[in-house]
């Protein structure tokens, strides 16, 4: 009787581990950080990999149908990033190809089986030469002009063919050498992006969909201010946009929740000439110089320096307003990241992605993600 009671008690403990707060550390979340050096050389201690599971180095380019280095210093930077694997064996280092300005040649490259094969051959050579763990495709966007790039209706099917063929290549390498290669994609948070892709097919071939759930409002793109990375919809928002709505749209399009990484910004947007109504939120505004503000700039020169912080309870994000300068700032901070990580937990997403590492030189934002998802403790196991 005593023995059976002990067995029952032990089984109860095993089955009840989900009730303990530390249980989140046993689930593996991805925390992917884009590292964008803007052509500068990386120092060995410049990136703290202990709170990351993946680095996406931005960007490689496409020239003559082949993937090429984005800058001469990239080879040196890859060597620096590879050394981070020694301190964090769970870390993977990928290269991201394309981006907003370098998506020019995607449509031509993906057009035919022959042109795709040329690109895919170059990818395999690139990953081998620089000893990288995979590829992140940042095509902005199939079937859409993006920053004025060529595009075609056929991009929709060609994008699917591209990721399918790359997955086949990557799986072949794994079978031969035992080295797993990761394939991820960066995707915009709009219905138009979903409409111009076959996400129900694409998701089968990628490890994660890095959902860029930011830039919903940008100075110059809209005539009014707004939350550029809201977690939830504020009913007063004329556009009715949010990260949660975008996640739902991708799930509805066929992407499993565990493959979605919720993208968060390590930067803010500024509007000028904003009237002092509703502390500047959803008011008319105009672009100003240096309207893109990394978080470390916001933290050091705005908070406590003539700007008042407000909290949008509906959208679960902060914003700043200066009565004197009539400047409105939408941004991310540790409190909003805590809420977003709770959303990741509650909705069983795959983790978090952020753009970009050097926007948070003080480390406050990455610390907030780590505290919520337990990445550092998991990496030490």
Structure tokens at 273: 């000439």
Structure tokens at 374: 């337990």
Q: How far apart are CA 142 and CA 283, in angstroms?
A: 33
The number of angstroms, rounded, from the C-alpha of 262 to the middle of its chain's C-alpha atoms is 6
Contact 286, 219 (CB under 8 A): yes
Which candidate in 140, 270, 299, 356 is catalytic? 140
Q: How far apart are CA 116 and CA 226, in angstroms?
A: 40
What is the β-pairing status of strands 182-188 and 208-212?
parallel
140 belongs to the catalytic site? yes
Contacts of 179 (CB under 8 A, 6+ apart): 173
Q: How far apart are CA 205 and CA 226, in angstroms?
A: 35
Q: How far apart are CA 34 and CA 93, in angstroms?
A: 10
Contacts of 40 (CB under 8 A, 6+ apart): 73
Q: What is the enclosing helix (H) or strand (E) of 301?
A: helix 295-301
Give the active site residues. 140
């Amino acid at each position: 009787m005593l023995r059976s009671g002990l067995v029952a008690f032990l089984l109860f403990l095993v089955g009840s581990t989900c009730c303990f707060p530390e249980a989140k550390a046993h689930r593996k979340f991805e925390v992917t950080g884009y590292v964008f050096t803007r052509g500068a050389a990386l120092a060995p201690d410049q990136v703290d990999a202990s709170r990351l599971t993946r680095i996406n180095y931005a960007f490689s380019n496409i020239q003559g149908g082949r993937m090429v280095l984005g800058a001469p210093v990239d080879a040196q930077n890859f060597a620096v990033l590879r050394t981070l694997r020694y301190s964090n064996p769970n870390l993977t280092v990928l290269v991201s190809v394309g981006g907003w300005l370098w998506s020019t040649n995607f449509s031509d490259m993906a057009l035919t089986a022959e042109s795709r094969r040329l690109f895919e051959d170059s990818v395999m050579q690139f990953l081998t030469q620089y000893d990288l763990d995979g590829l992140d495709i940042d095509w902005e966007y199939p079937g859409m002009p993006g920053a004025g790039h060529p595009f075609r209706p056929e991009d929709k099917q060609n994008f699917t063919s591209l990721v399918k063929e790359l997955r086949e290549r990557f799986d072949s390498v794994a079978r031969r050498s035992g080295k797993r290669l990761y394939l991820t994609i960066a995707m915009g948070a709009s219905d138009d992006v979903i409409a111009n892709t076959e996400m129900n097919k694409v998701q089968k071939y990628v490890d994660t969909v890095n959902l860029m759930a930011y830039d919903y409002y940008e100075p110059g793109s809209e005539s009014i201010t707004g939350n550029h990375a809201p977690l939830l919809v504020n009913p007063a928002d004329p556009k009715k946009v949010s990260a949660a709505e975008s996640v739902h749209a991708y799930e509805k399009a066929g992407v499993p929740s565990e493959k979605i990484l919720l993208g968060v910004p390590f930067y803010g947007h500024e509007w000028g000439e904003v009237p002092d109504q509703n502390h500047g939120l959803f008011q008319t505004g105009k672009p100003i110089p240096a309207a893109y503000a990394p978080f470390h700039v916001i933290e050091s020169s705005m908070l406590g320096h003539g700007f008042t912080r407000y909290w949008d309870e509906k959208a679960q994000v902060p914003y700043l307003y200066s009565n004197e300068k009539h400047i409105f700032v939408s941004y991310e901070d540790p409190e909003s990241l805590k809420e977003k990580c709770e959303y990741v937990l509650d909705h069983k997403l795959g983790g978090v992605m952020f753009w970009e590492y050097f926007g948070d030189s003080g480390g406050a934002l990455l610390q907030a993600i780590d505290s919520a998802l337990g990445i550092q403790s998991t990496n030490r196991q």
